[in-house]
Amino acid sequence: MNVIEVEELSVRYGVATALDGVSLHVAAGEMVALVGSNGAGKSTLLNTLSGIVQSARGRVEVHGQLAHVPEGRQLFPDLSVDDNLRLGAFRVRERDPSWVYRLLPELERTRRQRAGSLSGGQQQMVAIGRGLMSQPDVLAIDEMSLGLAPIIVRDLSRILLELNTERGLAVLLVEQSARLALDLCRRAYVLEAGRIVASGTTGELAQSPFVKSAYLGGPGEPSS
Residue 36 interacts, among ligand ADP, Mg ion, none and using kind-specific CB cut-offs from 5 to 8 Å, with: ligand ADP
Q: Which of 1, 15, 16, 151 binds ligand ADP (CB under 6 A)?
A: 16
Q: Which of 26, 40, 81, 214 binds ligand ADP (CB under 6 A)?
A: 40
**Class of residue 111 by CB neighbours under 10 A (exposed 0-12, middle 13-18, buried 19+):** middle
Angstrom distance (rounded) from CA 45 to CA 3: 15
Q: Which of 41, 88, 97, 136 binds ligand ADP (CB under 6 A)?
A: 41
For position 43 contacting Mg ion by CB under 5 A, the verdict is yes
| DSSP bridge pairs for 35 | 175, 190
- DSSP string across 166-204: HH--EEEEEES-HHHHHHH-SEEEEEETTEEEEEEEHHH
Residue 224 interacts, among ligand ADP, Mg ion, none and using kind-specific CB cut-offs from 5 to 8 Å, with: none
For position 44 contacting Mg ion by CB under 5 A, the verdict is no
Nearer to ligand ADP, 16 or 151 (CB): 16
Write b or e for each residue in 66-83: b if 16 or more Cβ atoms lie within 10 A of its Cβ, otherwise e.
bbbbbbebebeeeebbbb
For position 177 contacting ligand ADP by CB under 6 A, the verdict is no
Positions touching ligand ADP (CB under 6 A) are: 13, 16, 18, 36, 38-44
